[in-house]
């Protein structure tokens, strides 16, 4: 499991409005494309600079495909990254702050100590 790769996915998708929409509409396709094309790209470098070893586990892929922010948090994904991305994708379907409240309620069963979110 790679908290770094989960956070990188959440960060890069959230910063591209087209990817936000793509992930909202086709999560499985977006996750597969991103893992094949973007996972090993080194951010803020030329496109030719890549690593070769980063890949999601099947559990990570499943959580990303299902937009499962609770499982992502339990895996160590940073909650700010999931919250900002998921607000961008789903807030429009809810009234003011309804999505944020539902996001928090879905994680209410979690207790201290929270998962380590350091990368």
Is 117 within a domain? no
Distances (CA, A) of 72 to 4, 9, 27, 57, 102: 12, 12, 14, 12, 16
For the whole model, what pTM was predicted? 0.87
The answer to the question of residue 88 being in a domain is: yes
Whether 53 maps to a domain, the answer reads: yes
Is residue 66 one of the residues assigned to a domain? yes
Per the structure, the complete domain to which residue 89 belongs is given by 3-105
* pLDDT at residue 106, rounded to an integer: 93
Domain count, the chain: 1
pLDDT at 49: 65
pLDDT value for 45? 65
Residue 40 lies in a domain: yes
Assess if residue 112 is contained within a domain. no
Tokens representing 35?
């893992």
- What contacts 24+ positions apart, CB below 8 Å, involve 62-70? 64/6, 64/9, 64/27, 64/31, 65/27, 65/28, 65/31, 66/27, 67/27, 69/103, 69/106, 69/107, 70/106, 70/107, 70/110
Query: Would you write out the chain's pLDDT as a tens digit for each of its 119 residues?
Result: 588 899 999 999 999 999 999 999 999 999 999 999 998 887 666 666 667 778 999 999 999 999 999 999 999 999 999 999 999 999 999 988 999 999 989 999 988 777 777 76
Give the three-class secondary structure for 45. Answer: coil
Give the integer Cα–Cα distance in Å for 100 and 109: 16
């Amino acid at each position: 499991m790679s908290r770094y790769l989960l956070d990188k996915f959440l960060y890069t998708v959230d910063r591209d409005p087209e990817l936000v929409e793509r992930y909202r509409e086709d999560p499985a396709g977006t996750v597969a494309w991103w893992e094949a094309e973007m996972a090993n790209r080194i951010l803020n470098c030329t496109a030719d600079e890549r690593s070769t070893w980063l890949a999601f586990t099947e559990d990570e892929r499943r959580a990303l495909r299902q937009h499962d922010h609770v499982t992502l948090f339990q895996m160590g994904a940073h909650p700010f990254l999931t919250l900002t991305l998921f607000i961008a994708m789903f807030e429009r379907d809810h009234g003011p702050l309804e999505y944020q409240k539902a996001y928090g309620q879905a994680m209410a069963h979690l207790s201290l100590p929270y998962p380590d979110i350091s990368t």
